[in-house]
Amino acid sequence: MRSQGVLQAEVEILVPFFDVDSMEVVWHGHYVKYLEVARCALLDKLGHNYTQMRDAGYAWPIIDLQLRYIRGATFGQRLTVRADLVEWENRLKINYLILDAETGERMTRASTVQVAVEIATREMLLASPGVFVAAVEKALA
C-alpha cells in the first residue's frame, strides 16, 4: 500500500443512482469525479483552492491520472474518499484511496499529477509557484 501523504482530507460520497451503469455498478468514469471532490477538500484544507490558484495567475491541469479498480461500488453505497498530498514543490501529486465507509474495504486507489501553468503566457512551470509552496508550508506548520 502507498504511504500516506503529509496532509490528508476525507470526504464521504453516497453513490447516486445516475452514477451506476447497466451492470449496476458505478461507471468507471465517475470515480474521477469522486477524486475531484476529495482533491477540492484537500486544497481547501491547504488554504489554496482552485479559485485562489486562478487569482494567483496559475492553472493546474492534470497531466497524469492513474486508477486501480479493486471492487465496483454500487447504488446507495457510502464511500470514503481520502486524498493525500505527497508532492508539491515541483508538481502537485495526490494519492487517493476509496473505501467502503461501513466496512473499510478498499474499493479503488488512484493518483493524479498536476503542474502549474502561468495563465497569462500558457507556459508550464518547472517548479510550483512560491505562493502555492508557501500555502503548503503554512498548512504543515
Q: Does a structural domain hold residue 1?
A: no
Tell me whether residue 110 is in a domain: yes
Residue 19, in any domain of the structure: yes
* pLDDT band (50, 70, 90) for residue 81: very high
Q: Is residue 109 part of a domain?
A: yes
Q: Can you give the pLDDT at residue 2?
A: 67
Residue 2: inside a domain = no
How confident is the prediction for the chain on average, in pLDDT? 95
For the segment 60-77, the average pLDDT, to the nearest whole number, is 97
Domain CATH number, residue 131:
3.10.129.10
**Residue 1, pLDDT above cutoff 70:** no
Residues 94-137 pLDDT 10s: 999 999 999 999 999 999 999 999 999 999 999 999 999 999 99
pLDDT above 90 coverage of the chain, percent: 94
| Residue-range definition of the domain harbouring residue 100 | 7-140
Q: What is the mean pLDDT of the segment spanning 27-56? A: 96
Number of domains in the chain: 1
106 domain-assigned: yes
Ramachandran region, residue 57 (left: φ > 0; alpha: ψ -120 to 50; beta: rest): left
The pLDDT, as a whole number, for residue 3 is 66
60 occurs within a structural domain: yes
Q: How far apart are CA 8 and CA 136, in angstroms?
A: 12
Determine, yes or no, domain membership for 125. Answer: yes
C-beta pairs of 33-39 under 8 Å, 24+ apart in sequence: 34/79, 34/81, 34/98, 35/81, 35/83, 35/96, 35/110, 35/112, 37/11, 37/13, 37/81, 38/9, 38/10, 38/11, 38/81, 38/82, 38/83, 38/96, 39/83, 39/94, 39/96, 39/112
